[in-house]
Amino acid sequence: MTEDFAATASELRYAMFRTTRRLRRVRSVDAMSDAQLAVLGALRAHGRRTISGLAEHERVTAPTMSATVNGLAELGLVVRVPDEDDRRRVYVELTEQGGTVMADTVRRRDEAMAEMITEIGLTDRELSVLREAAAVLRKVAEA
């Protein structure tokens, strides 16, 4: 790895860390953890999933995911639904309330990000670079 590439990677990591840290503070339900929001987001994006499927997606253990889902179920944000063909398999689904919490959190975070960008007065070229960077970062995140 070249020194220039390493420096760019380090700067990018730091910028993403600071931006993410600011955005994580913005949420619909203050008492909700980042892990719980991540599960709501995964269910919103991909539909119902098993505990093991969610655990794999979030890169945590099944017992950890089970505890996270239990907390969400207690809040009425998800429900467990038995598989119609195999009663041993249980899916986790987003409730209407869970969908509302997630949609509101996403809206608030989008607004916060837009405010951060607006406050610094980026040029059209800088906004174009951000659009391009967003597409590249999505590829990195989904790899």
**Boundaries of every domain in the chain:** 3-142
Q: pTM for the full model?
A: 0.77
Give residue-wise pLDDT tens across range 48-103: 999 999 999 999 999 999 999 999 999 999 999 998 888 889 999 999 999 999 99
User: Domain 3-142 carries which CATH code?
Assistant: 1.10.10.10
The confidence score (pLDDT) of residue 103 equals: 93
Give residue-wise pLDDT tens across range 18-47: 998 988 888 877 778 889 999 999 999 999
29 closest CA partner among 66, 88, 65, 75: 75
The confidence score (pLDDT) of residue 8 equals: 87
Give residue-wise pLDDT tens across range 102-128: 999 999 999 999 999 999 999 999 999
Q: What are the backbone angles phi and psi of residue 67, rounded to the nearest 5°?
A: -65, -40
